[in-house]
Structure 1
Amino acid sequence: MNLLLDVGNSYLKWCSYEGLRKGEIFREAYGADIGVWLDRCWQNIEQPASVWISSVAGEKVDTEVSRWVRRNWLIESEFVVSRRAQAGVVNGYRQPEQLGVDRWMALLAGRAISHQPCLIVDCGTATTIDAIDAEGRHLGGLIIPGLEMMKESLLGGTAILELEDAESIDFVATDTASAILSGGINATKSLINEMRDRLSKKLDQPVLSLLTGGAAGQLLDGVLLPKRHEPNLVLNGVAIVAGLRDNA
C-alpha cells in the first residue's frame, strides 16, 4: 500500500493506493500540533510501503509530518516539487520552483483529464487560476483570496460583526451576511469566466474549466460551460508523479 498526502494551509487530505487502485479519500482540518493530530487520526492506519506528499503548509509542518512517518513507519517521505517539465506539462514560471506545488500537481492531473486548453481552478484558502494550452504549456495564472479569506478580511477590517445565516444570492442581497458571501462568490465566478473567455479568444479554441478544492461547490453553478468538478486534482497529480496513475 502507498499513501498519498495533500497538505494544505488548513486541511490534510490523504488516500491509499493498492497497485493502481485508489482507496477512500479522507479530508480533515489539522491543528497547530500536527504530530498529536496524526497520532489520533492515523493510529490504526496500515503501514504503507511509501508516502508521497504535496505540501504548501511550510517547513514546520513538513518536518513534523516526515518525522511522524519516520518514527512510526521507519520510512522516508517523498515530497513532490514543481519542475520545469513533467508528465506532458511545461511550467510557465520563469523560476519553476516558485510555482506552488499544489498548483503544479493540479496542472499535471488536469492534463491527464483533457488535452484541450484548460483553466485549472483550485478553490481553497486562496483561489488559484492557471491556464494551460492544448500542447501542455502552462501559460501562467492568478491568485486571489479564497471565499473564506474574503469574508474574514471584511470582518477584520470593518466594524461588521461575525455573520451567520448567510445565503448565496445571484443578484443583490438584502442582508449583510448574504451580501458578503455573494460578493465573494460572484467576484470569483466572474474572474473565472473572464479568464476563460480571454484564453479562448487568445487560442481560438474552446476552454474547459476544471474546478477543485473545498469551495469549488459554491462556485460551480455560475461557471460557464464547458466545466467539470474534479475534487481531488492535487492527489491525482501526486499519484501521477508516484507512478500510480496514468498521465495520458
Structure 2
Amino acid sequence: MNHLWLDLGNTRLKYWVSNPEQQIIEQGAELHLQSPIDLLLGLSQHFKSLNISSIGISSVLDNSTNQRLKKILNRLNAPIYFAEVQAQYAGLITGYDQPKQLGIDRWLQVLAMTRSPDKYCIIGCGTALTIDLLDHYQHQGGYILPSLYLQHDALTQGTKGIKIPEQAFENLVAGRNTSDAVHHGILLGLLGAIRYTLTLHPDYQLIFTGGDAPLFMQFLQEYQPRQEADLLLTGLQYYVQQQQGKMEDSIIPNRH
C-alpha cells in the first residue's frame, strides 16, 4: 500500500508517492494555472492505479476549492489528512500571535525540523523567500521577502529587453550593464537579509530548502549551510503520523 502526498500552492501542484517504508517511488510537479480541480481530475485516474492507502495534503487554496479537491480524492477510497496550522502541535509552539495567519508551507517546514530539535534559521526558496527561526520547539517568527524572480518581474515590468540570462546569478560583482545590475542587486539584497538575520542569531544553524537552495548556499558557505530537500514533505509526513497516532489512541479500549 502506497501513500500520496500533495502540496497545493497558488500556481503549482506537487506530489509524491511513497511506499510503506516512506521511500519516494514517484514524484511530479505541474502548474495548475489557477485550475487545480482540472489538473487533479487529470491525475486522479493515475493515482487510482497506485494502490493509495492514505493521502496527506498541504494546501494554501481556499476552503471551497479544498472541499472540491477532497471530493475528487474520495474516489481513491483512502483517508485524507489536510494539514492545519496549530498553536501547539507535537511539541512545536507556533510563534505567530494568530497562528492561523502563518502559511501552512512554512509551518510544516518548521515542524519537520523539530524532529531534531536545535536552533535553526530555516530558509525556504519558493515563490517567496521565507526565513523562519526555530529555537528547539519554539518558533520565533520570521520574514517573507519577494523571491529572485518576483523581484525581477517587479523591477522589469513595463520595460523592454531585461531578460534573465543563464548566468544572471553567477556572481555578485557590480553590474556593468543594466541586466547584471538588476540581477546581482536582487541577489545581493536577499543574501543581505539572510546575513543580517544570522548576525542577530549567530548560534542558529542555517537550513535551506526549495529549488533555489544551492544558488544561495554557494554564497553563504562560511555559515556551513545545510540543505534539506523536500522539507515540506517531511513535515507533512510527520504531521500525518501524529494524526494517525491520535486516532489509534482514541480507539484503544479502556482497560481499567
TM range (shorter): 0.7 to 0.9
Which letter maps to 1:231?
A
Give 1:162 deviation, angstroms.
Answer: 4.5
- SS state of the match for residue 114, structure 2? helix
Letter in 2 for 1:54: S
Residue in 1 that maps onto 2:245:
none
Q: Distance in 2 between matches of 1:179 and 1:57?
A: 36
Q: Which amino acid aligns with 2:230?
A: N
Q: Which residue of 1 aligns with 2:205?
A: 208
Q: Is residue 14–residue 235 contact of structure 1 (8 Å, CA) maintained in 2?
A: no
Partner amino acid, structure 2, of 1:230: E
Q: Residues of 1 paired with 2:43 and 2:214: CA distance?
A: 26
- Residue equivalent to 1:14: 15
Q: Which has the larger radius of gyration?
A: 2
How far, CA to CA, are the matches of 1:77 and 1:183 in structure 2?
44
Q: Give the secondary structure class of the aligned counterpart of 1:129.
A: strand
State the shift of 1:76 in Å. 5.6
RMSD: 2.1
| Alpha-carbon distance change, 176 to 60 in structure 1, aligned in 2, over 3 angstroms | farther
Whether 2:242 is the aligned partner of 1:238: answer no
Is 2:105 aligned against 1:108? Answer: no
- TM-score of the aligned structures, taking structure 2 as reference length: 0.83
Q: Any stretches of 5+ residues in structure 1 without a counterpart?
A: 201-205
User: Could you tell me the percent identity over the aligned residues?
Assistant: 26
Unaligned runs of 5+ in 2: 243-256
Q: How many equivalent residue pairs? A: 235
Cα distance between partner residues in 2 of 1:178 and 1:163:
10
Post-superposition Cα deviations, 1:202-246, rounded to whole Å, max 9, x if no partner, equal xxxx211111122223212112423111121111100001118xx
Deviation at 1:60, TM superposition (A): 5.3
Deviation (angstroms), 1:120: 1.0
Contact 2:44 2:72 in 1 (8 A): no
Deviations 1:83-138 (A, max 9, x none): 112233211111111111111100011222x42210111111111101011x3211
One-letter amino acid of the counterpart of residue 81, structure 2: E
Q: Contact 1:6–1:55 at 8 Å: present in 2 too?
A: yes
Q: Partners in 2 of 1:215 and 1:237 — Cα distance?
A: 19
C-alpha distance in 1, partners of 2:64/2:128?
Answer: 20
Which of 56, 59, 64 aligns to 2:60? It is: 56
- Tell me which residue corresponds to 1:44: 46
Match of 2:36 among 34, 37, 40: 34
In structure 1, give the amino acid aligned to 2:39.
W
Paired with 1:181 and 1:65, the residues of 2 have a C-alpha distance of 38
Cα distance change, pair 236–180 in 1 and its aligned pair in 2 (3 A): same
- Distance in 2, matches of 1:60 and 1:181, equals 39
